[in-house]
């Protein structure tokens, strides 16, 4: 399943299975102290960031490639939501001649197929860039057991992509505890953070048997330019 389909399939359950995304998006918005009026958000999902804004703005442009997620996003007279893949030429074309007070993104850019290219387009368009990205140390134990290639960027890859800019980084680790294995695995499925979920039935069964932790591991990095 592609990442886009994964989010589209579980869009309606996303808001009940996104504790870490909610924590980090709140923290990200708290860091925006200059009340920007003209904002671009990448990978807006169902509007975690948007719901946290407590100031007036003139123009909020939010994009996401899952139309189902966009449908669940709150509406506002100064908000435009469009269905774009942030790695696509169509999106780059859409941004031509546009600038923003602030560009933000929470829990989305780790899936960029070409983060250096995306940043080279975005950074000249703003003086304030703030993002939080999951790193490939998320679900570390699961990847150790399955030996599957990681579908999201590592901290080093993220740092490498931001190297041409004066970026600062803050790395955080979270553990989310569960009462039962079933709850833990349901959380992975519904949160969308599992990405493209390439496990077949046998592999999934093996993982279920061999996963002995009662928690899930998450690693996120906050990036500010
Ligand atoms: C974990 S959710 C986070 C959503 C929201 N920002 C939040 O904090 O709850 C990741 C979002 O990024 C979107 N996404 C992932 N890759 C994308 C891409 N290449 N282009 C546009 N959106 C993408 C997904 O559809 C999903 O809505």
> What whole-number distance in Å separates Cα of residue 84 and Cα of residue 28?
22
Q: What is the pLDDT of residues 129-155, one digit of tens each?
A: 999 999 999 988 888 888 777 778 899
CATH homologous superfamily for the domain 3-224 = Vaccinia Virus protein VP39 (3.40.50.150)
Place of tokens 């070409």: 114
Residues having CB within 6 Å of any atom of ligand 1: 3, 7, 18, 21, 25, 43-45, 48-49, 64-66, 69, 85-87, 106-108, 111, 192-193
**Ligand 1 centroid vs 15 CA: distance in angstroms?**
13
DSSP-derived pairing of the beta strands 126-134 and 215-224:
antiparallel
Find all residues with CB under 8 Å of 11, minimum gap 6, and list them. Answer: 46, 66, 68, 69, 71, 72
Residue 196: its pLDDT value, please?
Answer: 52
**Ligand 1 centroid vs 66 CA: distance in angstroms?**
8
Out of 64, 109, 114, 218, mutate this one to test ligand 1's pocket (max ligand atoms within 8 Å of CB): namely 64
Domain boundaries, the chain: 3-224
Nearest protein CA to atom 27 of ligand 1, as residue: 45
> What whole-number distance in Å separates Cα of residue 3 and Cα of residue 43?
12
Q: Is the pLDDT reported for residue 183 higher than 90? A: no
Residue 110: its pLDDT value, please?
Answer: 92
Q: What is the pLDDT of residues 63-98, one digit of tens each?
A: 999 988 888 899 999 999 999 999 999 999 999 999
Q: Is the pLDDT reported for residue 49 higher than 80? A: yes
Q: Across residues 5-24, what is the average pLDDT?
A: 63
Tell me the C-alpha to C-alpha distance, in Å, between residue 103 and each of 99, 106, 132.
Answer: 9, 11, 12
């Amino acid at each position: 399943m592609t990442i886009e389909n994964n989010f589209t399939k579980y869009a309606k359950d996303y808001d009940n299975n996104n504790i870490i995304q909610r924590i980090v998006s709140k923290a990200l918005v708290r860091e925006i102290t200059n009340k920007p009026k003209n904002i671009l958000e990448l990978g807006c999902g169902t509007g975690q960031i948007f719901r946290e804004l407590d100031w007036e703005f003139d123009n909020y442009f939010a994009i996401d490639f899952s139309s189902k997620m966009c449908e669940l996003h709150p509406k506002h007279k100064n908000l435009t939501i469009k269905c774009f893949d942030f790695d696509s030429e169509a999106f780059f074309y859409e941004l031509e001649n546009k600038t923003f007070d602030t560009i933000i993104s929470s829990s989305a850019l780790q899936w960029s197929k070409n983060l250096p290219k995306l940043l080279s387009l975005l950074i000249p368009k703003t003086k304030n860039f703030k993002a939080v990205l999951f790193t490939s140390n998320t679900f570390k134990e699961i990847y150790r057991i399955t030996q599957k290639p990681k579908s999201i960027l590592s901290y080093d890859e993220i740092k490498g992509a931001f190297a041409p800019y004066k970026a600062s980084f803050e790395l955080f680790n979270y553990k989310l505890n569960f009462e039962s294995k079933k709850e833990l695995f349901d959380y992975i499925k519904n949160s969308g953070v599992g990405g493209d979920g390439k496990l077949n039935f046998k592999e999934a069964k093996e993982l279920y048997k061999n996963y002995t932790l009662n928690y899930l591991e998450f690693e996120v990095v906050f990036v500010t330019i």
